[in-house]
Amino acid sequence: MEESRRQFVAALTAGVTGALAGCGGSDSGAPTEDGTETPTAGESPTPTETSGATEVSQVVAVGADGFNFSPANFEVAAGNTVRWEWESGGHNVKADTVPGGSDWSGTEGSDLFSSGHTYSYTFETPGEYSYYCQPHRGSGMTGSFTVTQ
């Protein structure tokens, strides 16, 4: 009798544990084969930066030799991507002048970024652009470029 009781309790425990495991789970979405999560109903997917999706045609070093952009002036064809790479921290990229029709404003908000940060933008509107680092503008940390057709 004691043996039957133990088997019954063991079977009951295993069944309840299995049932509860099936009911549990997170509400953050289901993992997919590539390790990302699929949003559940009512959620919006969060945009993520993709690597290698756009070919970069111009790289600008931010703060490599103090308070400057290198190169300070350059030219890029419309439809190409410029990537700013932070060599030192405490900098941002803010648009000063842009041609009509362009919505480029530089890095978002007034955040300052650390060494290793990158910011990329694909320029579609031809014209003259100028920009600066907000906290170091007075120290001459400015740059300019031309987007050609």
Residue tagged active-site, from 1, 23, 117, 136: 136
Which of these, 84, 60, 56, lies nearest to 74 by C-alpha position?
Answer: 60
- Rg of the chain taking only CA atoms, in angstroms: 27
- Told to judge if 136 belongs to the known catalytic residues of this protein, a careful annotator would answer yes
For 90, the token pair is 């405490």
What residue spans of the chain are helical by DSSP H?
A: 2-23
> Has 133 been annotated as catalytic?
yes
Residue 117 is a catalytic residue: no
Q: Within its chain, how far is the Cα of 14 from the centroid?
A: 45
Q: Which of 1, 23, 91, 117 is catalytic?
A: 91
> Of the listed 1, 23, 117, 133, which one is catalytic?
133
Write out the catalytic residue numbers. 91, 133, 136, 141
